[in-house]
Structure 1
Amino acid sequence: MAEWKCNGIDDCGDSSDEDICAPCTPGMVRCDEGKCILESLMCDDKDDCLDGTDEPSTCGRSCFVRNGGCAETCTDTHWGVQCSCGAGWVLQADGQSCADVDECSLEYGPCSQLCTNTPGTFSCACLQGYTLRHGTACEVTDNSTQILVAVGQDLALLDVRTQAYRPLLSTETEPRALVYDLLRETYYWLTEDAELRVHHPGKGTQPLYANAGEVNSISVDWFTGQLYWASSHPPAICAGLGDGRGYVTVLGKDIAPEQLTVHPAARSLYWVNRGQRGRTVIAAAGMDGSNRRELTVVSMEEPVGLSLDHVAGRLYWISEYKESIETLRVDGSGRHSFHAVLRSHTEPAGPGCV
């Protein structure tokens, strides 16, 4: 993919996608993608660069005359002047004028929640219940975040601030997936045999939809309380009432879904879909199965752990092949990679969490 070039990660395996970004040797300048030419060829009235960057409009000019025509910084060279712009601005194709950089529309914006672009800079803000830290990061105001974890056969709460660990209930199995409906205080999980289980307050633990098939992932719509799941056999995405009274197939044609997650506020589903001939994609659809679409192709990445940032509207996953964390916006734009050294497979696994 074009956006994988010059991202600091050797995606091709032979560094060819990163070598084109390396700086030119002294006495040379870069013009076409990956091409460096002698600086002496600048402004010689010949197009040595296919994009014409060796014959800029600032040839033969001097910074002493009207700042060389530069909107901001001007630097004299033997062939003319080199214009440049300050932080928050970018040099335009005419080689002279500067335009504002919209930091909020970058592939990965600088703010963790709300972003407002202003000329030459930007500002961040947070939703109610969060406090802005260091100008860009939003943290929970009361600092009381808890993580629901599955450790062995137990469900427990882990306090992020104090690291206090509080067991909640025993599942009598080692859950493969786990979700929680905060409004209804209801837990759902998958057993080792890919069966659905539910724990209602005051009602105990019960099996749920025994005929749902070989379920591999689950997610919950906290608006309605409906449970969504992806099944490998039969291949389908289904939605069911949380009390077991019935379910429907949302998508069941040309689908091989995994790692399902729902975005109730956007009325959307997202999942990893493994198609024919090894073609794997991050896919999306409406929660009723409408408007199905592909967001990005991830055939070579071995994606795991697809997760959703509901506030920022971003999907995240781990690429085992690239050894990185990947992200993109829920509309398919803003693809970005975070290079990371993943834990060795020989190290013991930690607890599962949601």
Structure 2
Amino acid sequence: MKGHCQHNCSVVGEGGYICVCPRGYQIQLNDTKLCEDINECSGFGHNCSQTCVNIEGTYTCKCKQGFEMIDERCVVKSEVPAFVLYTDGPDIRAVDLSQQHQSSLVAGESRVQSLDFDPITDILYWTDTYDKTIKRAVIPNPSDPEHGNGFSQNLDLKGLTKPVDIAVDWVGRNLYWMDMDLSNSKPKGRIFASLLDGRYRKAVV
């Protein structure tokens, strides 16, 4: 052992030294020449999203039942393909992340500003700032090449000035959106809420 240290020692001043431990270990409190394993799982010394398992000199991460490790994070196992939804203005499209395949879901709108999705009913909601409307459509199966486009339904919310952002509360079954008034020199925005079918609208902010 170097300088009677279990692992390494570092010279301090003239004739002095301290013991140094490798990564994943620390000096024992009752014997400064010996190193002991650091339990990263006992505090915040790990990056595990779910379960941390301490092993000698380091640690490893594990996922709970029903989850799997993807890119060092635990995500829910699902047999349903993952999709990214986006808009290019008049159309709403989907990208199948497993097959890298793009498909059109809704076409021929005026100016889609924002969108959100209800995973319970497979219904897509979006705002159209040109038509000053909020619409929805049942999403066809994007993995089927013959699915065609969804049929859009106007929620017919009267008095909208410019609905710009939208959010679906699929747990509470509510719809939230921001409506902008640009008629004055100082634009004003309000946040509204309603049921998912547009009923019982009220201002939140």
TM-score, normalised relative to structure 2:
0.65
> Which residue pairs with 1:303 in the alignment?
none
Matches within 5 A, 1:334-349: none
Displacement of 1:132 in angstroms is 2.5
Task: Decide which of 2, 6, 9 is 1:75's aligned counterpart.
Answer: 9
| Match of residue 211 from structure 1 | 159
Write the distance in 1 (CA, Å) between the matches of 2:58 and 2:158: 56
Q: Does 1:164 align with 2:101?
A: yes
What is the correspondence of 1:180-199 to structure 2 with a 5 Å cutoff?
180-193=117-130, 195-199=132-136
Q: Could you tell me how far 1:102 is from its partner in structure 2?
A: 4.5
Structure 1 residue 227, shift from structure 2 partner: 1.1
Per-residue deviation at 1:220?
1.0
3-state DSSP of counterpart to 2:112: coil
Aligned length: 179
Instruction: Read off the aligned partner of 1:77 and give its amino acid letter.
Output: V
What corresponds to 2:189 in structure 1? 235
Preserved contact between residue 114 and residue 126 of structure 1 (Cα < 8 Å): yes
Name the CA distance, whole Å, in 1 between partners of 2:195 and 2:153: 16
1: CA distance, partners of 2:51 / 2:156? 42
Residues 193 and 247 of structure 1, relative CA distance in 2, 3 Å threshold: same
Change (3 A) 1:244 1:78: closer
DSSP-derived class of the 1:123 partner: strand
Q: Distance in 2 between matches of 1:181 and 1:143?
A: 15
Q: Which amino acid aligns with 2:190?
A: A
Counterparts of 2:159 and 2:44 in 1: how far apart (Å)?
Answer: 45
CA apart distance, 1:78: 4.8
Shift of 1:200: 4.0
Say if 1:155 and 1:167, in contact at 8 Å, map to a contact too.
yes
Tell me, yes or no, if the aligned pair for 1:103 and 1:122 is still in contact at 8 Å: no
Unaligned stretches of 5+ in structure 1? 1-61, 253-354
The CA RMSD measured in Å over matched residues stands at: 3.7
- Given the superposition, is the C-alpha separation of residues 190 and 204 from structure 1 closer, same or farther in structure 2, using an over 3 Å criterion? closer
- 3-state SS of 1:132 partner: strand
Structure 2: gaps of 5 or more residues: 139-149, 182-187
1:155–1:168 CA contact under 8 A, matched in 2: yes
1:85 is the counterpart of 2:21 = yes
CA contact (8 A) 1:103 1:121 kept: no
For the pair 1:225 / 2:148, whether they are aligned, the reply is: no
Amino acid of the residue matched to residue 18 of structure 2? Q
Q: Distance in 2 between matches of 1:124 and 1:239?
A: 41
Structure (1 or 2) with the larger CA radius of gyration: 2
- Which amino acid in 2 is paired with 1:147? V
1:64 aligns with 3
Query: Whole-Å Cα distance in 2 between the matches of residues 89 and 209 of structure 1?
Result: 63
Q: Which moved more, 1:164-173 or 1:193-202?
A: 193-202
Change in CA separation of 1:89 and 1:193 when aligned onto 2, cut-off 3 Å: farther
Instruction: Give the deviation of 1:228 after TM superposition.
Output: 1.7
Matched residue, 2:142: none
Normalising by the residue count of structure 1, what TM-score does the alignment of the two structures yield?
0.41
Change (3 A) 1:127 1:141: farther
Whether the aligned pair in 2 keeps the contact of 1:131 and 1:141 (CA below 8 Å) is no
Identity %: 22
Aligned-pair CA distance for 1:87: 2.8
Q: Distance in 1 between matches of 2:63 and 2:24?
A: 22
Q: More relative contact order in 1 or in 2 (CA 8 Å, sep 6+)?
A: 2
Tell whether the 8 Å contact from 1:194 to 1:216 is kept in structure 2 after alignment. Answer: no
Q: Would the aligned equivalents of 1:215 and 1:229 in 2 still touch at CA under 8 Å? A: yes
